[in-house]
Structure 1
Amino acid sequence: MHENFEIKKIIIFFIVFLLLAGFFVFFNLYKEDRSINTTTKDIPTYINIDNIDFLTNKNQNELKNKIEKYVYKELEYTENEVDEINFLEKTYTDNNKKYFFFILNDGLDTMYGTYYNTKTNTLSTDFIWYGDANNSDYIDSSIPYSYLEIVNEKKFNDDAYQKKVEDTLPDNNDDGIYDY
């Protein structure tokens, strides 16, 4: 009887030990997982930053913060939807404002733009939507250029030439016979 009591005591001790060890491991892993999810933020990668080298480093950092705030808070993208922001080479100057553009790799290659006021050396707080892959012929009133013209000027010129050829009437011939 004394042996059964000792065996039961050892088994109960072993079970309690395993339960405590399991709780310890579970809570430590859960705490670590929770801290990773709350502290790690998927910050987008910025591509072609040298295209905005007319901005100082301070202005570039300010621009990145404004873009992240705009994309994630105002546009309500999740952090996994946009992981690259590509600054485009094209810039346009109008009335002391230097317009520049960036594309979000959100599946539609959405293009936004803003401007830098060269007179006051300040960035605009507004971002303007200039179109996406599904709206490549969109033209905003702030600049007289379409999405396609900014993103892919060669394709824009090819499309414009093709449209011009299609819209040209054939030469008028008196006998009704046309050479094509």
Structure 2
Amino acid sequence: MPAKHSLIHSGETQPIPRSPYAWSPLPSIRTTIHPVLGVSNRPSLMYDMSRHISTLRLSHPSLSPRLLAEPATQPPMHSLTIVCPHLPWPINVKARKRNGYITVADVMDGLYHALRPNATEAEFRSLSHDLRHQVNKAYQQRYRRASLMDYAHEKAQGVRRVDFLGGRNTFMGLSSTKGGARVWRLNVS
């Protein structure tokens, strides 16, 4: 005689009862940005993006530099995209460590390396007359603020991508977008 709970009775198979949980979708996990990268009127990371990445500072002595090695998002991700209404291109950030996750430092380093190159002539010409004027003004302000040692070099280099921010170079944090968990908005002032 077959066992009471057996699926086989008299040589015939019975349908397996379906669990009410077998097809339930997994709960969606909301992706959040690390608090030091989050948008704020008083950002935890003080950074003028027209300057070298080495000038980045933590806003309070209680914040540990070890924060820079922490995951930029929860859950951790391998890549993300940063958009800004002042920039005509997205900034793609990838984890520096192979098979790793993006850290807070990766995000800040990614911003620096995306904004530091010279703007191409095509990028500059794609702007309206008014925006070109703003970018030129930001370029002049940037090289005039340079040290005496760097002044001539910065002036000779011409317009950099950071100048497209129109002088709004202060990192104010990242905020979510409608683009999904991998797309974040760069807020500047």
Indicate the structure (1 or 2) with the bigger Cα radius of gyration. 1
**TM-score band, normalised by the shorter chain?**
under 0.3
Relative to the length of structure 2, the TM-score reads 0.25
Relative to the length of structure 1, the TM-score reads 0.26
Q: Which has the higher contact order (CA 8 A, sep 6+)?
A: 2
Normalized per residue, the structure richer in helix is 1
